[in-house]
């Protein structure tokens, strides 16, 4: 199982550090694999991170398996969640506040810097960039105390780095953090009543997570409905994708024998994407929803079901084993009762 959806990684200078998703989501310490892509660039941090013996092994074999460092594991999980968290009101997986994920990832990046200075290659983001991304989105939150604590830690770290501007911004954010709730704009997806007249074919499909950017669509299966409606000139293909969180350039591609035969541009409506286009020829089509119809290393329904079940099982974890964004969701839910 090497699909990225199962493989949280941290990009290091000259290498990759890989974790098993099941370990990270279950909050159990497992192994991590350090893979080298550029041994010379990696050697300075590698030996410090894994010790002489394992460093030699990695240099000889190109990789080495060692017990996971908690700081790296936490960062890997947060970065994974930013890309693949299967938010789905239908499945009972709540959307996570991206600003809280960013904030916690900024702190996790600092923690990795502290245990392995110079390891991160800055590809995934630096504390400064993550903080900048978070700062715009943090508002009233159910976890204000924790946000305050993280901001103060970041402020101290930025100050230590002589980044006075961000040190002040983080301190100001700490002072401003206030309890409250964040509303998510997922419309319930009330399906408009479709007239049955003239429908010559219809079907359902699922969205491959690998085909859409994160934070756009509900992660559940069978959210796509399509129908072909007879019309005087050419038939029309109508497509609807339920469960939209945000806008993106999405298209539904109708295929026959793997060839794209029609493209339906999708537009964001109230909690859903929809669109229609002309379709000629046979009504036996396949349907792909996403940014592109090109070959991707996709996720299968089994991949997605497994990830969803691992994520749902996190409900049972103690709060400290979950991410700040998840605790915020839990805290809001409690307040509602």
Partner 1 sequence: MTGSGELRLRSAVLAAAWARIPGVAVLSSADGGPLTRTVKKIIDPLVVRTAARPRLGRPLLEPAAAAELTGLLLADAPRLRATAAWFPHLKRQRRALRITAGNVQDVCFPVAYELATGFGMPGPEAPETAASALRELHGEGEEAGVARLTAYLADPRVAAGLTARLHRRWHAGADTGLAPEDAVVLLGEFVDHLTDAAWLALAGSAAGHAFGLALRRPEGAGTLAEAVPGLPDLGLQRGDRTAVPPLHRRDETGPELLERSVERRVRATLRRLPADERGPVAGLVDDELARVAAGFGLALPALAACFGLGVILAPALRPLDGVAPGDPAFARQLNAQVAREGYVLHARRALAGATPLTRRPDAELVRELREFAKQFLGRLWIRLHGFDVRGDLPAGAAAVRDLVTGVVRSTSLDLRTKVRRALVARLPDLEAVS
**Are 21 and 307 spatial neighbours (Cβ–Cβ below 8 Å)?**
yes
What single string gives the DSSP state of each residue in 140-176?
SBTTHHHHHHHHHHHHHHHHHTT-HHHHHHHHHHHHH
Provide, rounded to whole angstroms, the least separation between the CB of residue 331 and partner 1: 25
Provide, rounded to whole angstroms, the least separation between the CB of residue 335 and partner 1: 28
**Is residue 40 involved in binding partner 1 (CB under 8 A)?**
yes
**Are 255 and 286 spatial neighbours (Cβ–Cβ below 8 Å)?**
yes
**Is residue 137 involved in binding partner 1 (CB under 8 A)?**
no
39: CB partners within 8 A, 6+ apart: 14, 58, 59
Distance CA(60)–CA(155), nearest Å, equals: 41
Return the range that interacts with partner 1 (CB under 8 A); candidates 65-73, 143-151, 188-196, 206-214.
206-214
Return the range that interacts with partner 1 (CB under 8 A); candidates 198-206, 214-222, 228-236, 252-260.
214-222
Provide, rounded to whole angstroms, the least separation between the CB of residue 319 and partner 1: 24
The burial of 228, by beta-carbon neighbours within 10 Å (0-12 exposed, 13-18 middle, 19 or more buried), is given as buried
Closer to partner 1 by Cβ: residue 102 or 218: 102
Looking at the DSSP bridge assignments, the partners of residue 250 are 266
Closer to partner 1 by Cβ: residue 144 or 311: 311
Contact positions with partner 1 (CB under 8 A) in 103-122: 105, 117-119, 122
Of 27, 35, 156, 327, the one binding partner 1 (CB under 8 A) is 35
Return the range that interacts with partner 1 (CB under 8 A); candidates 125-133, 192-200, 233-241, 308-316.
125-133
Provide, rounded to whole angstroms, the least separation between the CB of residue 292 and partner 1: 5
CA Rg value for the chain: 23
**Is residue 206 involved in binding partner 1 (CB under 8 A)?**
no
Closer to partner 1 by Cβ: residue 51 or 281: 51
Distance CA(181)–CA(204), nearest Å, equals: 35
275: CB partners within 8 A, 6+ apart: 238, 239, 251, 252, 264, 265, 266, 267
Of 152, 156, 176, 210, the one binding partner 1 (CB under 8 A) is 210
Return the range that interacts with partner 1 (CB under 8 A); candidates 142-150, 158-166, 183-191, 310-318.
158-166
**Are 266 and 289 spatial neighbours (Cβ–Cβ below 8 Å)?**
yes
Return the range that interacts with partner 1 (CB under 8 A); candidates 36-44, 85-93, 235-243, 307-315.
36-44
Return the range that interacts with partner 1 (CB under 8 A); candidates 86-94, 129-137, 181-189, 322-330.
129-137
**Are 10 and 76 spatial neighbours (Cβ–Cβ below 8 Å)?**
yes
**DSSP 3-state percent helix, strand, coil across the chain (nearest 5):** 40, 25, 35
Phi-psi domain of 62 (left: phi exceeds 0; alpha: psi -120 through 50; beta: other)? left
Contact positions with partner 1 (CB under 8 A) in 63-82: 79-80, 82
Of 27, 30, 44, 286, the one binding partner 1 (CB under 8 A) is 44
**Is residue 171 involved in binding partner 1 (CB under 8 A)?**
no
Return the range that interacts with partner 1 (CB under 8 A); candidates 50-58, 231-239, 263-271, 306-314.
50-58
Distance CA(88)–CA(146), nearest Å, equals: 25
**Is residue 129 involved in binding partner 1 (CB under 8 A)?**
yes
Which residue's structure tokens are 């702190």? 107
Binding site for partner 1 (CB under 8 A): 2-4, 7-9, 11, 13, 16, 18, 35, 37-48, 52, 55-56, 59, 79-80, 82-84, 98, 102, 105, 117-119, 122-126, 128-130, 132-133, 161-166, 210-216, 248-249, 290-292, 294-297
């Amino acid at each position: 199982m090497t699909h990225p959806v199962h493989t949280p990684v941290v990009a290091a200078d000259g290498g990759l550090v890989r974790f098993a998703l099941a370990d990270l989501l279950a909050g159990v310490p497992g192994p991590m694999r350090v893979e080298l892509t550029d041994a010379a660039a990696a050697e300075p941090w590698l030996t410090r991170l894994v010790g002489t013996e394992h460093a030699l092994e990695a240099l000889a074999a190109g990789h080495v398996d060692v017990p996971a460092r908690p700081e790296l594991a936490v960062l890997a999980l947060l970065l994974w969640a930013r890309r693949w968290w299967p938010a789905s009101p239908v499945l009972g997986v709540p959307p996570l506040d991206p600003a809280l994920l960013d904030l916690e990832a900024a702190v996790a990046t600092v923690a990795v810097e502290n245990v392995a200075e110079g390891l991160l290659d800055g590809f995934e983001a630096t504390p400064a960039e993550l903080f900048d991304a978070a700062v715009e989105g943090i508002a009233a939150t159910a976890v204000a105390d924790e946000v305050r604590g993280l901001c103060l830690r970041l402020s101290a770290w930025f100050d230590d780095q002589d980044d006075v501007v961000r040190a002040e911004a983080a301190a100001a954010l700490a002072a401003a953090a206030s309890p409250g709730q964040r509303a998510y704009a997922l419309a319930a997806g009330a399906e408009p009543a479709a007239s049955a007249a003239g429908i010559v074919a219809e079907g359902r499909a699922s969205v491959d997570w690998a085909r859409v950017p994160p934070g756009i669509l509900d992660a559940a299966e069978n959210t796509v409905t399509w129908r072909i409606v007879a019309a005087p000139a050419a038939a029309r293909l109508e497509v609807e994708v339920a469960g939209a969180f945000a806008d993106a350039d999405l298209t539904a591609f109708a295929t026959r024998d793997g060839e794209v035969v029609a493209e339906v541009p999708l537009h964001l409506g109230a909690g859903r994407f929809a669109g229609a286009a002309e379709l000629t020829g046979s009504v036996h089509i396949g349907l792909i929803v996403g940014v592109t119809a090109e070959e991707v290393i996709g996720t299968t329904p089994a991949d997605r079901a497994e990830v969803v079940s691992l994520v749902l099982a996190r409900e049972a974890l103690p709060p400290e084993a979950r991410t700040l964004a998840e605790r915020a969701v839990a805290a809001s839910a409690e307040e509602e009762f």
